[in-house]
Amino acid sequence: MNNERDFNRILDECLDRVIRGEGIEACIADYPEQAAELRPLLEAAAGLQSTRFTPSADSRRQARLRFYQALDRRRRKPFWARVPAWAAAAVGVVLLAVAGLAGLNVINPPGDDPPTIIVSAPASGDAVNFRFLVSDAPNDIGDFSSLVVTVDRVALLKKGADGEAWVAFTPEVKQFDLTQLIGAASRQLWQGEVPEGEYTKVELIASSVKGTLKSGETIDIKLPSNKLQIGIPFTVGAGTVTSFTFDITVNKTGQGSGKYILSPQAAESGAAYEKMP
């Protein structure tokens, strides 16, 4: 895997973990080879947790967008100049996220999550406008003879005129083996009808991840907060079936550690659209 893209994936995962309240040292312990570059970023991002307010979802999205623009600029700098640039970019994330206060954006108090709408699988013959599938980017899956994920729930974050809301469903297929879903292969977990509109994020809540290495050893795979999430916009529209593929990958956390972590693969995930029959 490209080293730059790999580091971006690790950073994105660790930022999400820190913002959800996990300790910096726990993230760094999973990626010791990237610790020197990760630490200043995560320490800056952790400053956001000490504020009394949580920024609006739109502010967070804008902060993340500008942050990755800073990452693109970083690629043009020599290695010795990168750490200061990383630290400055991370401080920018914190300032941009809190800037909602000065800009009079809507600020949500801590713990004030969007409401959740529960949808169920359709009866035979009912309309279907959304399908949810999973797949696996190769990376370190070749170390395993099986890697079984058990999913409890999938949630889609819907954007609306009155704010955001989660649209959640229980998969019809709750368990799948990632070793059978490498590359272009995929497995449909659910299909049904969800509210039409714009969506900005997908979360997959898992109860367990069990891996068996080709050596025969059975190991637990780390899954921070028992969920995977991807921020990718897509739409569900009238007369259209939206098929969203959530790509998952497994990676070693360090040379010789014997540990693995499950992560979302945003670059390989996304929606496809087709007209209803």
Q: What is the pLDDT of residues 11-22, one digit of tens each?
A: 877 877 776 677
Whether the CA torsion 38, 40, 43, 47 is positive or negative: it is negative
Instruction: Please write the tens of the pLDDT for every residue from 199-230.
Output: 999 999 999 999 999 999 998 788 878 899 99
Q: How many helices (H) and strands (E) does the chain have?
A: 5, 13
Q: For residues 236 and 157, what is the distance between their CA atoms, to the nearest angstrom?
A: 12
Q: Tell me, what's the pLDDT at 30?
A: 87
Report the chain's mean pLDDT, rounded to a whole number.
Answer: 77
8 Å CB contact between 116 and 168: yes
8 Å CB contact between 13 and 222: no
Q: How far is CA 269 from the centre of its chain?
A: 10
277: tokens are: 């029959």
Q: Tell me, what's the pLDDT at 46?
A: 66
Q: For residues 224 and 81, what is the distance between their CA atoms, to the nearest angstrom?
A: 31
Residues listed for the chain: 277
Instruction: Please write the tens of the pLDDT for every residue from 46-80.
Output: 654 444 344 444 444 445 444 444 444 444 444 33
Burial class (CB in 10 A: 0-12, 13-18, 19+), 102: exposed
b/e string for 189-204 if b means 16 or more Cβ within 10 A? bbbbebeeeebbbbbb
The pTM score is: 0.62
Q: CA-based angle 122:128:129, to the nearest 5?
A: 135
Q: Tell me, what's the pLDDT at 230?
A: 93
Q: Tell me, what's the pLDDT at 205?
A: 94
Residue whose C-alpha is closest to residue 94's, from 147, 22, 40: 40
Beta bridge partners of 149: 176, 209
pLDDT-based confidence at 108, cuts 50/70/90? very low
Name the E strands within 92-196: 116-118, 130-136, 144-160, 163-169, 175-177, 186-192
Q: Tell me, what's the pLDDT at 251?
A: 87
Q: For residues 105 and 157, what is the distance between their CA atoms, to the nearest angstrom?
A: 19
Q: Residue type for 190, please?
A: W
Residue 1, pLDDT above cutoff 50: no
Name the E strands within 37-138: 116-118, 130-136
Residue whose C-alpha is closest to residue 41's, from 86, 8, 98, 94: 86
Whether the CA torsion 65, 69, 75, 80 is positive or negative: it is negative
8 Å CB contact between 114 and 163: yes
pLDDT-based confidence at 87, cuts 50/70/90? very low
pLDDT cut 70: percent of the chain above it:
70
Q: For residues 42 and 13, what is the distance between their CA atoms, to the nearest angstrom?
A: 11
pLDDT cut 90: percent of the chain above it:
39
Residue range 218-246: mean pLDDT, rounded: 91
